[in-house]
Amino acid sequence: MAHSLATYIALPGTTAEAMEHWHEVFGGELQIMRYGDAPPMEGMPFEPDPNAVAHATLTTPAGVIAGGDAMEDGNDYNVRGSAYSLLYTTDTPDEARGYIDKLLAGGGEIGMPFEQAPWGGWYGQAYDRFGVMWAFSCE
């Protein structure tokens, strides 16, 4: 089997909605498995909600995003303002702007305007409605 590397995100109960939104924005192939769809797992340290996402993958032309619903208690699960973001490199500025526009239309907001960067390329950031920061870059 060839090695691969995917981004994995645990969201606070919104993984299915986020993955479906990202599928609309970026295209690709989406697979979602909920705990209720999985065979019984002996020795599980918790009883998961059968509707919670156990594992999801979105295979896009640019790479793979995987994730699942976080099993955290409470509402203090921090997505926005955490140390991670997703960097999406495109061939043209217009392509990046198109993805940013789709994220904004889906309830997101600009984090940093997409414009020419000091190093000569293009760069900008948008937060989607789930609080995930998407950074966009192109030459």
First to last CA, the chain: 33
pLDDT mean over 88-101: 96
> Phi/psi at 107 (nearest 5 deg)?
105, 10
Q: How confident is the model at residue 115 (pLDDT cuts 50, 70, 90)?
A: very high
Residues 123 and 93 both lie in one domain: yes
For β-strands 86-89 and 133-138, DSSP reports them as parallel
For β-strands 63-69 and 86-89, DSSP reports them as unpaired
Residues 66 and 33 both lie in one domain: yes
Residues 66 and 106 both lie in one domain: no
Work out how many domains the chain is built from and give that number.
2
Residues 50 and 99 both lie in one domain: no
16 near 56, Cβ under 8 Å?
yes
Mean per-residue pLDDT of the chain: 89
Residues 57 and 88 both lie in one domain: no
Q: Is the pLDDT of residue 75 over 60?
A: no
**Domain range enclosing 40:** 1-75
Residues 57 and 84 both lie in one domain: no
